[in-house]
């Protein structure tokens, strides 16, 4: 994908989604098997399925949280370069993350509008006319 727009900017990691689905299914099946036949082996497998599910879930959650922190730092740097670093405090993290798609030329005006109108992340993304792609999000 060379060009990123509002229509195609969402990233859905298929490999992670299938792993999450498999872990959730294993946990569900082991919960059912353990309630049907309470054995030491079933309880052990249920605990293993739970551990797997939480590991898969948390690996994605932690990666996204780290990326959000990196994006916040990137935006802090971009806004400082544009002389607008003080405006960062007026925005929520979701707004800051959405603004990363705006070009440097469009960013100051959209930042003002986002803060004044309390725009949602989706509203900010829809308002962007000069899209700056973020192809490194995982």
- 52-93 pLDDT, tens per residue? 999 999 999 999 999 999 999 999 999 999 998 888 889 999
CA-to-CA separations, 3 to 101, 110, 127, 131, 137, in angstroms, rounded: 12, 21, 17, 9, 14
Check residue 102 and report its DSSP letter. Answer: B
For residue 3, is it within any domain? Answer: no
For residue 7, is it within any domain? Answer: no
Q: Is the pTM of this model over 0.75?
A: yes
* Domain count across the chain: 2
Q: What is the pLDDT of residues 112-123, one digit of tens each?
A: 999 999 999 999
For residues 96 and 60, membership in a common domain is answered with: no
Distance in angstroms (rounded) separating the CA atoms of residues 101 and 31: 43
* Structural domain that includes position 98: 82-133
Q: In sequence order, which residues have a C-beta less than 8 Å from that of residue 136 and are 6 or more positions away?
A: none
For residues 51 and 98, membership in a common domain is answered with: no
For residue 126, is it within any domain? Answer: yes
């Amino acid at each position: 994908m060379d060009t990123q727009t509002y229509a195609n900017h969402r990233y859905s990691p298929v490999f992670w989604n299938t792993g999450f689905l498999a872990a959730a299914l294993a946990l569900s099946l082991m919960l059912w098997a353990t309630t049907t036949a309470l054995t030491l082996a079933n309880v052990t497998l249920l605990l293993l399925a739970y551990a797997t599910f939480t590991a898969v879930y948390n690996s994605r959650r932690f990666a996204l949280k780290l990326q959000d922190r990196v994006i916040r730092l990137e935006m802090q740097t971009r806004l400082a370069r544009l002389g607008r670093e003080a405006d960062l405090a007026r925005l929520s993290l979701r707004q800051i993350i959405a603004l990363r798609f705006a070009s440097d030329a469009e960013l100051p005006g959209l930042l003002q509008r986002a803060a004044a109108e309390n725009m949602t992340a989706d509203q900010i993304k829809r308002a962007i006319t000069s899209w700056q792609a973020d192809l490194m999000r995982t």
